[in-house]
Amino acid sequence: MKAIGRNIVIKKKKEDTIKKTDGGLMLTGKQRVDIRYKEATVLHCGDDVKGIKEGQTIFYDKNASHRLEVDKEVFYVIRDIDVVVVL
């Protein structure tokens, strides 16, 4: 699988964390609205992507990804402008 242009193929980090709200409600990672960015590992970058390399951990806007399923494995595609931090 190869990304084209300014696209990046990523694998999201699993979020199994549970947080307790001030009111005592238990929330899983998917239900937390206080977190705007998600963590992922870069699998492949398109030819026009600069400053991001394969294998790096990134944080990106959680509303920016598109799901892609290949051979029963789930990947996500984002644009380079949606990346906010590279670790």
In a domain, residue 2? The reply is no
Return the SS3 of 82.
helix
Domain count, the chain: 1
Reference 18, options 32, 5, 6, 7; nearest CA is: 32
Q: How confident is the model at residue 85 (pLDDT cuts 50, 70, 90)?
A: very high
CATH classification of the domain holding 24: 2.30.33.40
Q: What is the pTM of this model?
A: 0.77
In a domain, residue 79? The reply is yes
**Domain of residue 74, residue span:** 7-86
User: What pLDDT, on a 0 to 100 scale, did the predictor assign at position 43?
Assistant: 96
Give the integer Cα–Cα distance in Å for 61 and 2.
22
Cα end-to-end distance, the chain, whole Å: 23
In this model, does residue 58 exceed pLDDT 80?
A: yes
For 1-43, the pLDDT digits (tens) are 889 999 999 999 876 566 666 777 766 655 556 678 899 999 9
In a domain, residue 13? The reply is yes
In a domain, residue 1? The reply is no
In a domain, residue 63? The reply is yes
Higher pLDDT, 63 or 41: 41
